[in-house]
Amino acid sequence: MAEILLQSSMVIGPVLGYFDQIAKFRKTKSSAGFSLDTSGILLVSSIIRVFFWFGKRFDDVLLYQSIIMIITQLIVLYESVKYRLPYSSLYNPKQRQFWNWSHLSPYLTFLGSLVGVLSISYLALGDQYWFIELLGFAALGIESTVPMPQTLQNFQKKSVAGFSPVILLTWFFGDAFKAFYYTHTGAPLQFILCGVVQLMVDSQPSEPLCVGHRGYPDKFPENTLKSLQKALIYGANALESDVRYTKDGQVIMMHDNTLDTTTNGTGLIDDKNWVGYIEYLNSENESIPRFQDVLDLLKQDENVDVFLIVDIKEDNRIEILDAIADIIQSNTPYNFSSQLYLGIWTPDFLVKARKVLPEIPIAHIGSDISEARKTFFEVESYNIEYPHILSDDTGFAKQIKIWGKKLFVWTLEDPKDIKKCFEIGNIDAILVNDPMKCINAKRDFARRKKFWKSPF
C-alpha cells in the first residue's frame, strides 16, 4: 500500500500546481504572469524522456509521469495562449519569436517535428548505448532548468503577479521528493542529478529590492514626478506612492488628505477640484502629478521592469478604486499587471479591488500581523511596518515564503535596520525615503556574501 501511494504521488504530484495556475488564468483572464518557457522545457524534456525509457526500460512509474506531464503541459499551453493579453509579458512583438507565438498551431507543429526527429533518430541509433545515454542526459538536463525561466521573469518584472504559489511549492517539495524517489528506486544517474540540480535552484535565496517610498523624499518633494524619477535614476528597483481622490473625480498623487502639508494650496482634497485649482498648485515648485502621469512613467521603455505600490489610504472614498480601474483600462492594450500592486488597508477596499481590478495583484498594507494572516490571506503580497516584522515570533515571514507570496517592509531610515533586512533573508523589498541608503547596504551585503563564498 505504501509503495502504491509513493508511486501515485510520483506520477500525480508534479502536475498538481499547474492546475492551480490554469485556475488563475481563468480567474484573471490573463496568463501574463506565467513564463511559457516553463511549459516548453517540460514538454521537450518529457518527450525525450519517453524515448529514453524505450531505450533504457527503467521504472514504469517514470514513464507514466512523463506522459501525464505531457498531457498537463499541453492543457497549460492551450490555456496560456488563450488568455494571453496584447503586449503582456507573454507576448511582446519586440521579443524573440520562437516559443512566443500568439496561436497554438506553431507550438504543436514544433512539438510534432520534435517527435518526428526523435523517432527517426531512435530507429537509426536506438541500439547504440551512447545514443540512449545521451537521450537521458538531454532529457534530464533540460528538465533541471525548469525553475529558471519563471525565476528570471519574476526578477525582471520584480513581481510574482499571476504566478501560482502552488507551483512554487510543487517545485521545492516535489523536487525533494523526486530526489528521494530516484535514489530509493535506483533510477538512472541522469534522474538523480536532475533532482539534485533542481533542489539547488529552488533553494537559492533572493536579495531584497530597494523601493523609493514616495520616490526620493529625502532630497526631492515627495510624490512628485521629479521625486519618483530621481529615485529610479539613483538606482531604486521600484516605487511606492499614495493616491487621493479629488472632488471632480481625478486621482492625484499625494499622501495627506489635505493640500496644506505639501503644497501651496489649502483645504481637503475631497473638497477641491482638480480642474481650475489643484492643477495649478505646486509642491516646492513641482507640479502635482495625476495617477495617469505615473503610469506614463512606468510605460517608458527603461522602466518596463519597475513596479509601483499604489498606497490607497483607507480614508479615501471607496469610489477611488473605480476611478483607478477606469484609468488603468483606458491604457489598453498596455498591461500593468506586472507593474502595479494595489496597496490595500481594509477588507472593504480589498473586496472592491478584486471586483474592479481582478488582474492587478494586491499588497496588504498594515502593522497587525494577526489581521494580515487572517483577513488578508488571499492577497499576493504584504507590506508590513518594519518593527512588527522584527518583533514577530509567529514565523509570519517564513510562512509568506512557503505560500509563495512577497513581503515588503516600511519605512526604514536607519542604515542598521536596512542592513538587518538583508540578513533576515525572508524580505523581498524595503521601502526607504533615501534609496541610496538601501542601495549602499545592498552593495555591502553583496560584497560580504562574495567574501563568504571565497575559498581563500
pLDDT digits 0-9 by tens, 330-368: 999 998 988 999 999 999 999 999 999 998 999 999 999
What percent of the chain is modeled with pLDDT above 70?
Answer: 85
Q: Which residue has the higher pLDDT, 137 or 159?
A: 137
Which candidate, 420, 408, 415, 411, places its Cα nearest to that of 436?
415
Q: How would residue 30 be classed by pLDDT, with cut points 50, 70 and 90?
A: confident
pLDDT of residue 450: 55
Looking at the predicted structure, is the pLDDT value of residue 391 above 80? yes
| Per-residue pLDDT band at 41 (split at 50, 70, 90) | very high
Q: What is the pLDDT of residue 436?
A: 96
Cis peptide before 333 (omega within 30 of 0): yes
- The pLDDT score that the predictor gives to residue 58 is 82
Distance (Å, whole) CA 278 – CA 367: 32
CA–CA dist 430, 47 (Å, integer): 43
Neighbours of 368 (CB within 10 A): 13
The reported pLDDT for the residue numbered 89 is: 38
Q: What is the mean pLDDT of residues 170-176?
A: 65
The pLDDT tens digits for 95-106 are 557 888 888 999
Q: Which pLDDT value is given to residue 180?
A: 64
Give 267's pLDDT tier (boundaries 50, 70, 90). very high
Reply yes or no on whether the pLDDT at 86 is more than 50. Answer: no
Rounded Cα–Cα distance for residues 305 and 339 (Å):
7
Taking residues 161-178, what's their average pLDDT? 68
pLDDT of 88 > 70? The answer is no
Confidence of residue 376 (pLDDT cuts 50, 70, 90): very high
205 band by pLDDT with thresholds 50, 70 and 90: low
- 425 falls in which pLDDT band (50, 70, 90)? confident
Task: Give the per-residue pLDDT at 405.
Answer: 87
Q: Which triple of cell numbers denotes residue 346?
A: 481594509
Q: What is the pTM of this model?
A: 0.68
Is residue 42 within 8 Å of 101, Cβ to Cβ? no
- Residue 426, pLDDT score: 86
pLDDT confidence of residue 305: 86
Of 44-53, 67-76, 144-153, 297-306, which gets the smallest average pLDDT?
A: 144-153
76 touches 163 (CB < 8 A): no
Percent of the chain surpassing pLDDT 90: 61
Q: Which of helix, strand or coil describes residue 223? A: coil
Report pLDDT for 345.
97
Write out pLDDT tens, residues 123-154. 999 999 999 999 988 988 888 888 888 877 76
Which residues partner with 244 through β-bridges? 252
d(C-alpha 278, C-alpha 248), whole Å:
11
| Poorest-pLDDT segment among 11-25, 60-74, 112-126, 233-247 | 11-25
For residue 242, what pLDDT band results from cuts at 50, 70 and 90? very high
- Select the more confidently predicted residue: 27 or 35: 35
pLDDT attached to residue 90 = 37
- Range in 99-103, 144-148, 278-282, 427-431 with the lowest mean pLDDT: 144-148
Query: What torsion do the CA atoms of 259, 263, 264, 266 make, to the nearest 10 degrees?
Result: 10
Residues 6+ apart with CB under 8 A from 299: 331, 334
The whole-angstrom distance between residue 85's C-alpha and the CA centroid of its chain comes to 17
Q: What is the pLDDT of residue 91?
A: 39
Report whether pLDDT(455) > 70: no
